Amino acid sequence: MKLLYKVLVLAIIGFGLIWLWIYQIDPDPSLSIVIYLLVPFVFVLNLIIAGVFFYLKKKENARVFLVNSVTASIIMFYLFGKGIDRHQNKRIEQWSFHKADTTFSLIRWKEIDQFSLTYSLNQGSSWSLLDGNCVAENDVWILKANSLKMKIENENLIGFRSENDTIKMKKIER
Strands (E), 13-101: 92-99
The C-alpha atoms of residue 11 and residue 7 are separated, in whole angstroms, by 6
The C-alpha atoms of residue 37 and residue 21 are separated, in whole angstroms, by 15
Specify the pLDDT at position 20. 96
The C-alpha atoms of residue 38 and residue 12 are separated, in whole angstroms, by 18
- Angle among Cα 101, 147, 139 to the nearest 5 degrees reads 80
Amino acid identity, residue 115? F
Q: Give CA 126 to chain center in angstroms.
A: 21
Residue 49: DSSP 8-state: H
The C-alpha atoms of residue 136 and residue 44 are separated, in whole angstroms, by 49
In this prediction the pTM is 0.77
Give me the sign of the Cα torsion angle 117, 119, 123, 125.
negative
Amino acid identity, residue 145? A
pLDDT over 80 at 50, yes or no: yes
pLDDT over 80 at 133, yes or no: yes
pLDDT over 90 at 124, yes or no: no
- CB within 8 A of 37, min separation 6: which ones? none
Mean pLDDT, the chain, whole residue set: 91
pLDDT, tens digit, for every residue of 149-172? 899 988 889 988 888 888 999 998
Specify the pLDDT at position 139. 84
- CB atoms < 10 A from the CB of 39, how many? 17
